Amino acid sequence: MSEQPGLRRAMGGFDATTVGVGAMIGAGAFVVFAPAAATAGGLLPLAVVIAGFVAYCNAAATASLAVRYPSSGGTYVYGRERLGAAPGFLAGWAFVTGKLASCAAMALTFGLYAAPGAEKPAAVAAVVGLTLVNVLGVTRTALATRVIVALVVPVLAFVIVVAFASPAGPPAAGGGPAGVGGVLQAAALLFFAFAGYARIATMGEEVREPRRNIPAAIFGALGFTLVLYVLLALSLLHALGPAGLAATTAPLRQVVEAAAPATAGLLGAVVTVGAALASLGALLALIAGVGRTSLAMARGGDLPGALARVSRRFAVPWVADIATAVVVVVLLVATDVLTVVGFSSVGVLLYYAIANIAAFTLTERQWYAPRWLNAVGALACLVLAFTLPAASVLTMLAVLAGGLVVRGIVRGRRRGRA
């Protein structure tokens, strides 16, 4: 195979921050608050704070590693460099498989809001369209995400104001098992919503001045989203109560429609558009992140070499992006992927456990990532992962084992041709 060109450093700090925010707000605002309320009850804001703290631990580890290794692939690269080939592969495989499920979940969320009754065709169309955007270049990806974020954030701010202005909902009684286990499981589910900053690290090869811009973008995106989520959790609990929030499938739309019955249709449409755009923003960044991790794994010899091909014209991993889209479309057609949020959370938490362990081995320490924080982050990731439903945990462990088998076959064939 001829030598492939490298990726182009086309994104500044603001674009990288926007990509991270766009990756997070779609998942968090429109997918996980209701199931998280079902387990945490009135302690939902505490679960948000716990998830945010764990995300900070992971962001600190990711940022310090990305400064040291500013290339595509994220913890797949960090694990290989700091811990060895097998831990790096497990991190990359957990990320790719978990995020393929997330891609499908975000696409179907778009379909459910934008085209009820025809959600799967709409979801497939979204995957195809956004893959084309990614294939045309990372600057187009960043521009599209910036537009989506600029439209969605005002909608969320409007919902927060309306929810706080609404009459108080029923009290916490019956809102869920608000014990330690319920809060931790809710935090694990909500962590799914904080994972967007990983896209900044996996796109590290395309960020200008990575030592300065990558940490600033990661912490900027995380801080903005944490404040937004806490306000959203408090406002939704105020307006709906824990039980009402847990029972609804579209809490943001329900809040605005109940607050102004005379204009319920118009306000509901505004929220629906916001939800659709947020889902598209998350899906756009997810496709880019999965494609670039697949690129790195192919470069490292752990996935088929064809995935390492980079477009000479647009400087993007076009084969990996298209392969990602094909797998997501198959998932959309074959399964009900809204049930795999727990599966995705297990994969992402295991991915970040490896990131924290890799960061622990660094000798050059950044001020925002002391070694003790890496140890706390690794332990917290493992604890949250194993509070999730047993089916999700066992499925991910089986997928990781299958990945090791695939890796052995790929590497064996390459040795045979050598």
pLDDT category, 376, cuts 50, 70, 90? very high
Instruction: Write down the pLDDT at residue 175.
Output: 43
Please provide the average confidence, as pLDDT, over all residues in the chain: 83
Residue listed under structure tokens 């209701």: 34
Rounded Cα distance between 5 and 309, Å, is 8
Instruction: Write down the pLDDT at residue 176.
Output: 46
- Which stretch of 77-86, 296-305, 397-406 has the lowest confidence by average pLDDT? 296-305
Encode pLDDT of 147-173 as tens digits. Answer: 777 788 888 899 999 999 888 877 655
The distance of Cα 237 from the centroid of its chain, to the nearest Å, equals 24
Cβ(225)–Cβ(21) below 8 Å: yes
User: Which of 150-154's residues contact partners 24+ apart within 8 Å by CB, and which partners?
Assistant: 151/273, 151/274, 151/277, 152/25, 152/26, 152/29, 152/274, 152/277, 152/278, 152/281, 153/25, 153/228
Encode pLDDT of 115-147 as tens digits. Answer: 878 888 999 999 999 888 878 765 555 666 677
Amino acid of residue 326: V
12-41: average pLDDT? 78
Instruction: Write down the pLDDT at residue 263.
Output: 73
Percent of the chain predicted with pLDDT > 90: 25
| CATH architecture entry for 13-409 | Up-down Bundle (1.20)
Percent of the chain predicted with pLDDT > 70: 86
